[in-house]
Amino acid sequence: MPLPQDLTFDDLDAIQIEAEERKPGFVAVRLGLVCSLYIRDPYAPDVRARLAQCGDQYQQLFGEHLKSYQKIDGTGNPIPYPAEGVNLTKYVQEKDSLDKSFAPVFYGDADYHVASKYGLDIFACSTRPSPIQGKPAHFSAVIPFSWLKDKDGEQAFQKLVHEWCQILKPFHGYAGIGAIQSMDMTEKKRTSYLAYPLARRFPGLEVDDPGVVSNRMWNRGQGLKIKGVNWLTALDNQCLEELGGRDKVLSQLDNTFVIYDYDGGVLIQAGLTPQLGDVNTQHVPHSYRMLSNIVKPLRMTFPDGHSLMQPRTEASNTEVTNAWLARFDDPF
């Protein structure tokens, strides 16, 4: 992954925004690599088993950097991360019950409110008191740029995301450079106004809250909708069929794209390297825009009163959110 000018991976990891209203040094937003994948049929035992498998793999790769975690059923406050890790596969095999959520969250800081370089959010909702109709399961991971050190030419990030796609078989997902916030939903909402200026200027920058996104993906009468595209975008065969079929979709892509197949879908890489773009110079990444226009019929919108963006402006949060989701359609 080539770097702009003389920036190093450590330089990118050092880019961060502090929340002035919090204690000095409180990091609310930073840059990093993000990956969010969404899976159909969250109540299926094999889906939870596959989520657990990927969660255990993340711990094997990055467990030494994890400092706290949310209990697997999502109850209580985060507790210190144990030296031996948390065996999600064993939990699913021996203790998991569909009347409880499968909701482990791992934080790269003892203070789970801060935006840390590492993090993992897994969620598959319970069947009680009543299932949230259509809500997919999700797997959302954060990794620092420094992980790419000494991996030049190995396509390490693409390979990792592709491997997760091969295991999870997501109906949709996206990965690239992201504005990282706390994994805690309440804290993320509280500090999202700090991420908005970055999102508005740099269209290739992913801003995410998989819990909020998955809640809004179900469109009654129309099935599941997708959030959009980034450098890496996953679409399963059902999504491709709704867009006219795999051959039609892929035939519209030019030679700047790379295709990775997984069982039941494709992972599409838009360009050789991730691009941030910059609306100040009227630069919207060409490959991102091309793919976005193709998948536009499947793109979600947020209904009135719901939002992903909360910029603290006079504009409606819903309006701002939907404008950002459409940022590749026209100059944003």
Q: What is the pLDDT of residues 279-304, one digit of tens each?
A: 999 899 999 999 999 999 999 998 88
Kindly report the pTM of this predicted structure.
0.94
Q: How many whole angstroms separate alpha carbon 72 and alpha carbon 60? A: 17
Q: Is 228 left (phi over 0), alpha (psi -120 to 50) or beta?
A: left
Q: How confident is the model at residue 7 (pLDDT cuts 50, 70, 90)?
A: low
CA-to-CA distance for 189 and 226, rounded, in angstroms? 21
What is the tens place of the pLDDT at every residue in 71-88? 998 888 999 999 999 999
Judged by average pLDDT, the poorest of 49-58, 63-72, 220-229, 250-259 is 220-229
User: In this predicted structure, what is the pLDDT of residue 332?
Assistant: 45
Looking at residues 21-45, what average pLDDT do you find? Answer: 89
278, pLDDT greater than 50: yes
Question: Are 276 and 177 within 8 A, CB to CB?
Answer: yes
Whose tokens are 């197949």? That residue is 261
Residue-averaged pLDDT of the chain: 90
Average pLDDT, integer, range 33-53:
94
Give burial (CB, 10 Å; 0-12/13-18/19+) of 307.
buried
DSSP code per residue over 24-62: TT-EEEEEEEEEEEEES-TTSHHHHHHHHHHHHHHHHHH
pLDDT tens track for 162-221: 999 999 999 999 999 999 999 988 888 888 899 999 999 999 999 999 999 998 898 766
